[in-house]
Amino acid sequence: MPNTKPLWFNPIPPVSEYTHSHVVRCRSGLSASKQSNTKPVGTKLRGLDCWFLTTSDSNTGYQLLISDNLLPQVATGIRKPHHSHCTGEFAKSNEGTLLRPVYAAHSHFQNLKQRLSSNIALNLVLEHESFIQGAAITAFAEQVKLDQANLYYLHAFRCHEPSFASSEVTSNKQTLSWWHEKWYQFSHHNQCEHWQLGLGVLTHTGQLEISAKNNAVPTRPDWHNQFWGHFDNWLPASYRSKISHAQLMQWIGIFRYLYNFSGRYLAIPQFQNHELFSESNGWGSVEHLVDTVNKFVITFQANQ
């Protein structure tokens, strides 16, 4: 049976997940002059802007789930694209239908619900976007109703030097928007980085306690920027513009695995010193990865 104890009664700290969006451009397969699968020699291809939604563990940055808004044609048989979050020039592909981000968000949170145990208390920290909130509350409505899940908006602003503002959640509270959300402003520090945070409480009705704030707020408020920034260095835009959406998803899947488990990017102790992921294996770029795999295959074949 699912755990029906409210968050305040559960002695185990809630699991906190942080969800944010990002746009990545790849090749669309369509020419710039006309939307066709055939093109004259030298014709420039259009780009495709895919809207991604990532959910990471708030404490470690572990990338739990990555979704995007391109529905492959093999699954739909539909060629006419829906309206997109992206500009019309970069919103069409010969590989499938670019759905509105709201559809991708609902699919993302339904999948996330399947991956998380129903026996845990949960904090969902969200990018400040109403349809992302709507998708999250739809998927986790039962847990929220049972006080097993709380939803929050988060705004984060990096400071160049420590802020003199209080880290106490009661230091600055405002009720904002049509929905009368309670927003708290406070400072946050992580290693040598300093932040000003705005936390919007979407489901919790009482006063936000310091312990609840500490459980909800990510240790690093820009986990999404860190992940995509490292991915940009690993597979630069100049390369991504030449590959299809299917190839992009393969590389994102490979990089997500390396990001989560290599110890190169995240301070997860059990993976940091594993010999498989040592710096000498060269996971720092696609070229190094391919070179490592090639050397392994050549060595393996030579020993047969």
Residue 19 pLDDT: 97
- The DSSP bridge pattern shows strands 149-159 and 122-126 to be parallel
pLDDT at position 195: 87
What pLDDT was estimated at residue 120? 85
Exposure class string for 189-228: b at 16+ Cβ within 10 A, else e: eeeeebbbbbbbbbbbeeebeeebbebbbbbbbbbbeebb
pLDDT score recorded for residue 143: 92
What is the full per-residue pLDDT of the chain (304 aa) written as tens digits?
444 555 444 556 789 999 999 999 888 877 665 444 554 544 556 788 899 999 999 998 999 999 999 988 765 444 444 444 445 666 677 778 888 999 999 999 999 999 998 788 999 999 999 999 999 999 999 999 998 999 999 998 888 776 555 555 545 666 655 556 788 888 888 777 888 888 989 987 677 777 788 888 899 999 999 999 999 998 999 999 889 999 999 999 989 988 887 766 776 655 444 444 454 455 566 666 666 666 666 665 666 5
Which pLDDT score, from 0 to 100, does residue 64 have? 93
Q: How many CA atoms lie within 13 A of 147 on its CB side?
A: 10
Would you state the structure tokens that stand for residue 7, as one six-digit string?
């968050």
The pLDDT, as a whole number, for residue 31 is 66
The whole-angstrom separation of Cα 143 and Cα 145 is 5
Give the burial string for 4-23 (b: 16+ CB within 10 Å, else e): eeebeeeeeebbbbbbbbbe
- Give the per-residue pLDDT at 168: 55
Q: How much is the pLDDT for 83?
A: 44
Residues 6+ apart with CB under 8 A from 133: 126, 151, 153, 202
